[in-house]
């Protein structure tokens, strides 16, 4: 049977076919749909959203130890979080096969960096696969479990955004399994104390030699000889891009199993062509290893050092030309940056926060990172998941040491980010006592990645109702004495809470609690939040004085008409959050109750 | 020969459903098909694109600059933004519909005027108001299916049973209106 699948859907299918029984992940673009699709196999696979990537990998490892085939999937930066268990389980080796999917982002479509996670395979000394399309993604997952178990190693499965999110036709197979290996107590394998780790270290090196042999013989690494002038070495999506540009005008060495590299086989290929060009996104990893092995090749110097190696980039870099395009001026095209949605519960908070002076505003990863932009200007710095409270803490400690500064610090992150690693950074604030204001923007869901459940939302990915973990009792248990939970749509409450918290000389926590406007509201949401986005606001043009105060809320349902010099609300977009209504000095905005 | 279709618009306009139906139809007709889209932060009111490529054998899901056979813009300024992806001899189908981005809403920039005229001067362009036609049908959301109908006619893909594909992949209560919308889109393009 054939089906049109994205790379992420194909991975989920491959996981099903391979007989996997346990899957854990934390959402992150472009990896999110892997776990979402695995979760649809409710009868065959236990799937969960973990609180973070480290926890996801440890969950998968636990399942592998007792004999299940298991998977943990994450975006590239997620593997930084999960690096600790990743490196040591690489020593221990598996019982049931273990695959770790890393979804890298050349071009940074939705990410904070462009790190190349192929380095992790080398760093941890584990085998790696790199599919170039959905069919390969599915087939290679099945093979990855065979390799994992045969060579006693977790496998790194590296995809990029275009593999994850492109759809093509996949021939489906049937499910093997479920696969369970027998669990036997084995201290020397499963307890990495130094004495045993030294033994494991030897095993890792022997394993790499065996894997190099696998790489050499694997049909996933193959050559296609057409023309002997140029030979291209490429893995993943770069291979398809090159094929698109050159077709059968050049020869190819396609790398599918990419660590250890089949260097001897590539060397044989290189001897058949006059010039070898390596096309790889991000870092020149294959190129440098090939050069060290004595293969004469080019690559990094021919291409831009960052971004995707899409067909136009390859054409420009290697042929010095582009396809003819329509000539026109782009000057008049207005940028269309992402914005906080109409009704976004973050709006009220940032509208008030952005007005404050002499503040360091420390943000985090989520929709609320848009606070940096106009009109809020309410974020000075952000870094990584869960980092806001600890960075703010460090900044406050520096400011306290510095007699020339009296800046205050407000740090903020979302609910899912709090459960991810923010809980750890808030623990440090509580323990080491920084006089920071720590804000948890609880919109009752994981928003930016497309509404995944989290420990605070009350449901699991497979739809099981669970007790929602309440943030305020956690914060109080950490020892915070100054805690307030507010409705962020009430501007006066936000203002008062900020005044109160900034007036303290001790750590404080403000929790804003209102659901994301795009969320599918649960029964509990409907009970708790009265009049949830059921109304609309309108502006009376007779009363409006054109002061633009409402426009400063940055709501995409509001616009300013330059001809009439009045503000207007688009009734199709407005959901009646009333934030703009509270900013109007002449009460021109009113609520229309449905 | 591989054909490339680029659908562009603003997050929430239904480009993804239109390209999904398009892709399903092409697969059922026996073509090799690849479809690419980038999602992430663009869902928050940003510019979005779906890329569909079909033919005997397709390698890359990505349309390169100057290689799209047709550009379907669900919002007219987006047609200008993505125009460099179109072949100079390609076609543009443009929804005469304006969605103001934040810098226009807050009065910092003006929405460009005479976009349709600019496009018509540059390339074989068909402009029509799918939003109005959708509202006349009673559901503004079927604008995407009207544009899909226009695209199918323009790409001469009428041999595929699109009504069946719509029936199979759209919620039952919306099938009838979507089939009507599709026909309106087809009728708006002269063969």
**A318-360 pLDDT per residue, tens:** 999 999 999 888 888 999 988 999 999 999 999 999 999 999 9
The per-residue pLDDT for A140 is: 98
For residue B34, list chain A residues with Cβ-Cβ distance below 8 A: 133, 166-168
Q: Which of A159, A37, A240, A511 is nearest to B58 (CA)?
A: A240
- Tokens 């089949």 label which residue? A262
Tokens of B47: 């510019």
Q: How far is B77 from chain A (nearest CA, A)?
A: 7
Q: Which residue of A has its CA nearest to B10?
A: A336
Q: Give the pairing type, strands A275-279 and A257-259.
A: unpaired
| B31: DSSP letter | -
Q: How far is A482 from chain B (nearest CA, A)?
A: 34
With an 8 Å Cβ cutoff, are B101 and A330 in contact? no
Q: Which uninterrupted H or E stretch holds B79?
A: helix B76-82
Peptide bond connecting B109 to the previous residue in cis, omega within 30 degrees of 0:
no
Scan residues 382-441 of A and list those with Cβ closer than 8 Å to B. none
Q: How far apart are CA A204 and CA A446, in angstroms?
A: 38
Question: Is the pLDDT confidence value at A497 over 70?
Answer: yes
Q: How far apart are CA A274 and CA A277, in angstroms?
A: 10
Please give the average pLDDT of every successive group of 10 residues along chain B, which has 191 residues.
Answer: 95 90 95 84 75 96 96 97 96 96 90 94 96 94 96 96 96 95 94 61
Q: How confident is the model at residue A487 (pLDDT cuts 50, 70, 90)?
A: very high
* Residue B42 touches partner A, C-beta closer than 8 Å: yes
Q: Which residue of A has its CA nearest to B43?
A: A338
The per-residue pLDDT for A331 is: 85
Q: How confident is the model at residue A470 (pLDDT cuts 50, 70, 90)?
A: very high
Q: Average the pLDDT over A133-159 and give the result.
A: 98
**A290-303 pLDDT per residue, tens:** 999 999 999 999 99
- Tokens 């914060």 label which residue? A475
* Residue A336 touches partner B, C-beta closer than 8 Å: yes
Q: How far is B12 from chain A (nearest CA, A)?
A: 11
For residue A30, list chain B residues with Cβ-Cβ distance below 8 A: 39-40
Contacts of A214 (CB under 8 A, 6+ apart): A127, A147, A151, A257
**B1-49 pLDDT per residue, tens:** 899 999 999 988 889 899 999 999 999 999 999 999 876 555 567 888 9
* Residue A341 touches partner B, C-beta closer than 8 Å: yes
Residue A42: other Cβ atoms inside 10 A: 12
For residue A110, list chain B residues with Cβ-Cβ distance below 8 A: 38-41
For residue B26, list chain A residues with Cβ-Cβ distance below 8 A: none
Distance of CA B47 to the CA centre of its chain: 13
Q: How far is B102 from chain A (nearest CA, A)?
A: 6
The per-residue pLDDT for A385 is: 98
Could you give the percent of chain A with pLDDT greater than 90? 95
Closest Cβ opposite residue A167 in set B10, B35, B60: B35
Closest Cβ opposite residue B122 in set A161, A328, A341: A328
Q: 3-class DSSP state for residue B61?
A: coil
Q: How many helices (H) and strands (E) does chain B have?
A: 8, 6
Domains of chain B, earliest start first:
3-187 (3.40.920.10)
Scan residues 121-150 of A and list those with Cβ closer than 8 Å to B. 133
Contacts of B43 (CB under 8 A, 6+ apart): A338, A450, B11, B12
Distances (CA, A) of A140 to A7, A25, A254, A314, B32: 11, 19, 14, 26, 21
Q: Which residue of A has its CA nearest to B85?
A: A325
Tokens of A111: 């990410």
Contacts of A155 (CB under 8 A, 6+ apart): A97, A98, A99, A100, A126, A127, A128, A129, A144, A145, A147, A148
Distances (CA, A) of A24 to A69, A161, A206, A294: 12, 20, 30, 41
ipTM: 0.94
Q: Average the pLDDT over A544-571 and give the result.
A: 94
The per-residue pLDDT for B43 is: 59
* Residue B100 touches partner A, C-beta closer than 8 Å: yes
With an 8 Å Cβ cutoff, are B111 and A558 in contact? no
Burial of A530 (0-12, 13-18, 19+ CB in 10 A): exposed
With an 8 Å Cβ cutoff, are B103 and A337 in contact? yes
Q: Average the pLDDT over A142-151 and give the result.
A: 98
The per-residue pLDDT for B106 is: 85
Domains of chain A, earliest start first:
2-217 (3.40.50.970), 222-319 (3.40.50.920), 346-528 (3.40.50.970), 536-592 (3.30.70.20)
End-to-end CA distance of chain B: 21
Size of interface A-B (CB pairs under 8 A): 177
With an 8 Å Cβ cutoff, are A4 and B64 in contact? no
The answer to whether the pTM exceeds 0.90 is yes
Radius of gyration of chain B (CA): 16
* Average per-residue pLDDT for chain A: 96
Q: How far apart are CA A271 and CA A39, in angstroms?
A: 47
The per-residue pLDDT for A150 is: 98
* Residue A329 touches partner B, C-beta closer than 8 Å: no
Could you give the percent of chain A with pLDDT greater than 70? 100
A71 neighbors A60 (Cβ within 8 angstroms): yes
């Amino acid at each position: 049977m054939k089906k049109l699948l994205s790379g992420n859907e194909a991975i989920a299918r491959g996981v099903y076919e391979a007989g996997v029984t346990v899957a854990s992940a934390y959402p992150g673009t472009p990896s999110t749909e892997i776990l979402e699709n695995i979760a649809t196999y409710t009868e065959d696979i236990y799937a969960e959203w973990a609180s973070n990537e480290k926890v996801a990998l440890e969950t998968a490892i636990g399942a592998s130890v007792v004999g299940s085939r298991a998977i943990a999937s994450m975006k590239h930066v997620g593997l930084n979080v999960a690096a600790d268990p990743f490196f040591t389980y690489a020593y221990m080796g598996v019982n049931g096969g273990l695959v770790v999917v890393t979804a890298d982002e050349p071009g940074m479509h939705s990410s904070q960096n462009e790190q190349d996670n192929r380095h992790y395979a080398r760093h941890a000394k584990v085998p790696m696969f790199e599919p170039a399309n959905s069919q390969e993604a599915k087939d290679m997952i099945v093979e990855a479990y065979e390799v994992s178990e045969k060579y006693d190693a977790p496998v790194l499965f590296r995809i990029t955004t275009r593999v994850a999110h492109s759809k093509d036709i996949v021939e489906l197979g049937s499910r093997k399994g479920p696969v369970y290996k027998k669990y036997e107590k084995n201290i020397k394998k499963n307890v990495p104390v130094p004495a045993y780790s030294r033994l494991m270290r030897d095993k890792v090196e022997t394993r790499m030699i065996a894997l190099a042999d696998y790489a050499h013989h694997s049909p996933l690494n193959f050559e296609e000889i057409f023309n002997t002038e140029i030979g291209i070495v490429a893995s993943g999506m770069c291979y398809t891009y090159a094929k698109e540009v050159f077709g059968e005008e050049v020869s190819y060495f396609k790398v599918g199993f990419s660590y250890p590299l089949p260097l001897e086989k590539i060397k044989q290929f290189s001897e058949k062509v006059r010039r070898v060009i390596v096309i790889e996104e991000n870092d020149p990893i294959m190129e440098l290893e090939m050069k060290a092995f004595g293969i004469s090749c080019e690559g990094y110097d021919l291409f831009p050092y960052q971004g995707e190696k899409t067909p136009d980039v390859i054409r420009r870099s290697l042929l010095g030309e582009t396809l003819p395009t329509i000539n026109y001026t782009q000057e008049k095209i207005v940028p269309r940056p992402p914005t906080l949605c109409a009704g976004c519960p973050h709006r009220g908070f940032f509208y008030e926060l952005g007005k404050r002076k002499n503040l360091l505003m420390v943000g985090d990863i989520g929709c609320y990172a848009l606070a940096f932009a106009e009109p809020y200007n309410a974020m000075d710095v952000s870094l990584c998941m869960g980092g806001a409270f600890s960075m703010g803490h460090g900044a406050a400690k520096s400011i306290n040491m510095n007699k020339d500064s009296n800046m205050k610090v407000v740090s903020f992150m979302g609910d899912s980010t709090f459960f991810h690693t923010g809980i750890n950074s808030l623990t440090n604030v509580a323990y080491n006592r920084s006089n920071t204001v720590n804000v948890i923007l609880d919109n009752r869901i994981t928003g930016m990645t497309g509404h995944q459940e989290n420990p605070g939302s009350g449901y699991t990915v497979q739809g099981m109702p669970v007790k929602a973990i309440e943030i305020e009792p956690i914060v109080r248990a950490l020892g915070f004495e100054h805690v307030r939970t507010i409705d962020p749509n009430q501007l006066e409450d936000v203002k008062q809470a900020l005044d109160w918290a900034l007036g303290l000389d001790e750590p404080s926590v403000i929790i804003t609690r209102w659901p994301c406007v795009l969320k599918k509201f649960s029964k509990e949401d409907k009970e708790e939040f009265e009049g949830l986005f059921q109304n609309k606001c309108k502006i009376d043009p007779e009363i409006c004085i054109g002061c633009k105060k409402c426009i400063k809320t940055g709501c995409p349902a509001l616009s300013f008409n330059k001809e009439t010099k009045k503000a207007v609300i688009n009734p199709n977009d407005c959901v009646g959050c009333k934030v703009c209504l509270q900013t109007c000095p002449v009460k021109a905005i009113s609520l229309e109750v449905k | 020969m591989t054909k490339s279709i680029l659908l562009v618009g603003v997050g929430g306009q239904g480009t993804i459903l239109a390209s999904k139906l398009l892709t399903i139809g092409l697969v059922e007709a026996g073509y090799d098909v690849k479809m690419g889209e980038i999602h992430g932060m663009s869902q928050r009111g940003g510019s979005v694109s779906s890329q569909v490529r079909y033919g005997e054998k397709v390698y890359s899901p990505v349309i390169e600059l100057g290689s799209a056979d047709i550009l379907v813009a669900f919002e007219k300024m987006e047609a200008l933004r993505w125009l460099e992806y179109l072949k100079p001899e390609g076609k543009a189908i443009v929804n005469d519909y304006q969605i103001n981005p934040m810098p226009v809403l807050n009065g910092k920039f003006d929405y460009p005027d005479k976009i349709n005229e600019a496009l018509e001067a540059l390339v074989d362009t068909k402009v029509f108001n799918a939003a109005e036609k959708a509202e006349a049908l009673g559901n503004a959301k079927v604008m995407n299916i009207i544009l899909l109908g226009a695209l199918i006619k323009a790409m001469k893909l009428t041999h595929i049973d699109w009504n069946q594909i719509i029936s199979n992949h759209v919620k039952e209560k919306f099938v009838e209106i979507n089939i009507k919308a599709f026909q309106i889109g087809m009728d708006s393009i002269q063969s």
